[in-house]
Chains A and B, each alone.
Chain A
Amino acid sequence: MKLSEEEIKHIADLANLELSTEELKKYGGQLSAILSYIDQLKEVDTSDIDSSEHASGLVNAWREDEVKNWPKDEIKLSLEQASDFEDGQIKVKKVL
């Protein structure tokens, strides 16, 4: 499986990653090599497997959707991690 530079650019765009020209070239080769290796999965007959089953075997665990009080100091610490915040709110670039 050989990925073209266009495909690599498209994937980077989907992933919201800015890549340098050098990175684009490097990842193109490396991802192609990894995908070629992964292609051996095709050899496995999986016709007997139901893909909807999760391998962990877990079933849904439910809990009440309740509002719980968050300690004030943790709220403060959380907000302080943002590069830009004002009046208890995080500021972002214009979206629209």
Chain B
Amino acid sequence: MNANELTIKQARELLDRGDLTAIELTQACLLRIKELDRHVKACLTVCSDEALEMAKAADERLKKGERTSLLGIPCLVKDILLTKGIKTTAASKMLENYIAPYDATVVKKIKEAGAIILGKTNLDEFAHGASTENSAYGPTHNPWDLTRVPGGSSGGSAAGVASNMCLFALGTDTGGSIRQPASFCGVCGMKPTYGLVSRFGLMSMTSSTDTVGVFAKTAEDTALVLQTISGKDEKDLTTSETKLKYDFQDSLKGIKIGLPKEYFIDELDGEVKKIVEEATEQLKNLGAEIIEISLPNTKYAVPAYYIITPSEVSSNLARFDGVGFGLSANHEEIKNIKEFYQKSRGLGFGPEAKRRIMLGTYALSAGYYDAYYIKAQKVRAKIKEEFIEAFKNVDIIITPTSPHVAFKIGEKVDDPLQMYLEDIFLSGVSLAGLPGFSIPAGFKNGLPVGVQLIGSKFNEAVLLNLAYNYQKITNWHLQKPQLSF
């Protein structure tokens, strides 16, 4: 077994015993990236020199006897989280040469914990998309089938973990951007409760649903990383005082799991449905009680999300005006500042960013604000209420993560509405600010299928414990794509 294939927990033991050094582990990951990434294209930037420096520092800390969960563990970071001194592009032409002057809080936290940043991963431009095809630097390929998408928007992070380029990765999830790629790539993907993890240094997309989360190989590893990055941040006043506390127990006795019938619709692939049913059956065997529930407003989550998100996007992306940072149109013939803004933004943004800016500008404009934006906010409140009601009777809700397995590159690229519907089982959870955890649960024709575990606010521990128990009796999460070139 190569060191890059280890879980955090396995590597932790070896590093702490002195049987492996952080340098060796980092070199194994860098070698894997070098071998594979020409084909997978998970990374936009690989910072080998900085990574080896960090590994050297981690080895020194280990030698001095320091023992912390992420010390010496190599990872990848989605390229929408600011990293001081290393380019952060958001996969946009707008920020092709942007170097952040400070670290995002999550980046700062994992660095302090001793994690090693190997590079920055590909995404849909500004996290707008569900396939990573909206990257201005070309798509990432799914390691299970290179002709297919890895999902998105955190496709590079998911593909990086799936192909053992790193031991974990940071991603972001605004309407499904961790959970859907985790499902497509066969890895664990945790979108935490809104407010558990600081958003400071995450480029804002939809400020009211943006979250930073984790891709990892096991539920145990997910917990280690999530615990490191969670907690109050004075630079993000939406963060809660809650810090993740978890405790793995060896039984699911007394746990009530809700199965919402609105998630088992005609659009759901028959084999994916069967996989979710089998997973549910296994959880029942572990002692959980299964209860059928109803979330009638589920189908309105995507339409509400695609008013709220573009509205916030149009406002958040207004900061890219060619002044101060980012792409700047500098033609001699530009007459005035308005034209300068228009040209800079026209050149810098890709098609989906433009589409969302237009949609949001329309939804917020005079005469339409009440009909679209206010209406969507009211529907959002109803969706949230519905989840609160459901959690009075159950501890966890289980659903498919995606209605299908990874689709072909190019298949949906000309149909934005089809791409939006990728979030059909995911955006409701985001609108309600709840935690969602996608874990591998099976395969269809060699392609991974995930199930989504939904919890009530700040109840990540229940999701982690359930996944931990499930992973003790299944090996879906241990299966890796066979890649050799």
Contact = CB atoms under 8 A, between A and B. Distances in A.
Q: Do A and B come from one complex?
A: yes
Interface of A: 3, 8, 11-12, 14-19, 23, 27, 30-31, 33-35, 37-44, 46, 49-51, 53-58, 61, 63, 73-78, 80-84, 90, 92-95
Contact of B416 (A30, A80, A83, A94): A30
Contact of A31 (B362, B374, B382, B420): B362
Most chain A CB within a 10 A radius of its CB, from B208, B238, B381: B381
B194 to A, nearest CB: 6
Given A18-B343, A93-B340, A55 B431 contact: yes
A55 B377 contact: yes
6 contacts: A14-B361, A31-B358, A46-B382, A49-B381, A51-B378, A55-B384
Contacts of A58: 195, 238
B248 interface: no
Given A63-B234, A74-B102, A93-B337, A16 B321 contact: yes
Interface stretch (B13-21, B22-30, B166-174, B328-336): B328-336
A53 B374 CA distance: 11
Nearest to A92: B323
Contact of B303 (A27, A38, A83): A38
B432 interface: yes
A15 to B, nearest CB: 4
B358 A17 contact: yes
B306 interface: yes
Most chain B CB within a 10 A radius of its CB, from A18, A53, A78: A18
A94 B378 contact: no
B485 to A, nearest CB: 37
A65 to B, nearest CB: 13
Nearest to A53: B381
Nearest to B240: A58
B417 interface: yes
A27 B360 CA distance: 13
Contact of A19 (B346, B376, B379): B346
B361 A82 contact: no
Given A51-B381, A58-B195, 9 more contacts: A15-B345, A15-B358, A18-B345, A19-B346, A44-B297, A44-B375, A74-B84, A81-B324, A94-B336
A54 B194 CA distance: 13
Contacts of A57: 384, 433
Nearest to A60: B237
B195 A41 contact: no
Contacts of A92: 323, 337
A95 B337 contact: yes
Nearest to B339: A18
A93 B334 contact: yes
B122 interface: no
Nearest to A23: B354
Given A74-B101, A82-B323, A34 B341 contact: no
Contacts of B342: 16-18
A80 B372 CA distance: 40
Most chain A CB within a 10 A radius of its CB, from B208, B361, B372: B361
A83 B328 contact: yes
A31 B358 CA distance: 8
Most chain B CB within a 10 A radius of its CB, from A34, A53, A75: A34
B380 interface: yes
Contact of A51 (B337, B377, B417): B377
Interface in B189-237: 194-195, 208, 234, 237
Contact of A38 (B102, B307, B349, B357): B307
Contacts of B304: 41
Contacts of B328: 83-84
A13 B170 CA distance: 36
A16 B338 contact: yes
B61 interface: no
A55 B380 contact: yes
B399 interface: no
B300 A41 contact: yes
B429 to A, nearest CB: 12
Contacts of B433: 55-57
A11 B372 CA distance: 15
Given A49-B381, A83-B328, A93-B340, A37 B345 contact: no
Contact of A46 (B324, B343, B375): B375
A31 B359 contact: yes
Most chain B CB within a 10 A radius of its CB, from A14, A39, A76, A84: A14
A16 B377 contact: no
B475 interface: no
A8 B380 contact: no
B420 to A, nearest CB: 7
Contacts of A90: 323-324
